[in-house]
Copies of this chain bind each other. A is one copy, B any other.
C-alpha cells in the first residue's frame, strides 16, 4: 500500500539520473551561466535544455516558466550580494567606514558580475503580481544592512532613517546602473569608485549637518 521501502522517496523517478533537486540545480546553474555569458537576452529554455542534456519540456516540470527560473537565479545572485556586503561591513569598525565599504562592495560586486547583477534589475515581470516577491524582500534586506551604521552616523531613527537608507542605497544603485550600461561618459580617470565615494561622502556629511541643525537642539 504505502510506498515506504528502502529507497528514499526522492529517487522514486523512473528514468531519472538526477533527483528533482539535482535537476533543479542543474537548470539554475545552466541558466546562471547563460546569463553570465550572454546576459538575460541569452537565456532561453532551449539553451538551458541543450546545456544540461534534457529537452525544454523538462524545465517546465520543475519551474512554472522561464520567469520563474530567472527569479530563482536572481534570488541566488542577491543572496551572494548580501553575503558580500555583509562581509565588507564586518571588516570595519567605524560606522562611517562601514557605510563606505558597503557602497564599495555593492559597486564591486556589480562590476565583477555585471550580467548577473543586471539581470536582477532588468528582469521585468508581466503586469501581474504586484505583491512583494522573493526579490523585493531580498532587496529590502540589502537596504537593512546599512541601517545600523547609518543610524550611528546620522543620529536619525524611524522614518527619517528609512528614507536616508533608501535614498543613499538608490543613489549608489543609480551610479552602478548608469556606469555598467555605459550611459555615463567617464572622461579622464574618473571611475565608478570615485563617483560612489563622492556621493556617499557628501550625502553623509549633509545628512549629519542637517540633523545637527534640525533634530538635536544641542546639549
**Taking the nearest CB of chain B, how far is it from the CB of A205, in angstroms?**
3
How many residues on A have C-beta within 8 angstroms of the other chain's C-beta atoms? 51
A24 to B149, CA, bound (A): 54
Oligomer copy total: 2
Query: Are A163 and B121 in touch, CB under 8 angstroms?
Result: no
Is A49 in contact with chain B by the CB < 8 A criterion?
Answer: no
Query: Are A175 and B183 in touch, CB under 8 angstroms?
Result: no
* A158-175 Cβ-contact flags toward B at 8 Å (1 or 0): 010011101110111111
Question: Which residues of chain B have C-beta atoms less than 8 A from A188's C-beta?
Answer: 159
Is A84 in contact with chain B by the CB < 8 A criterion?
Answer: no
Query: Are A167 and B175 in touch, CB under 8 angstroms?
Result: yes
Interface 9-mer from A13-21, A54-62, A91-99, A206-214: A206-214
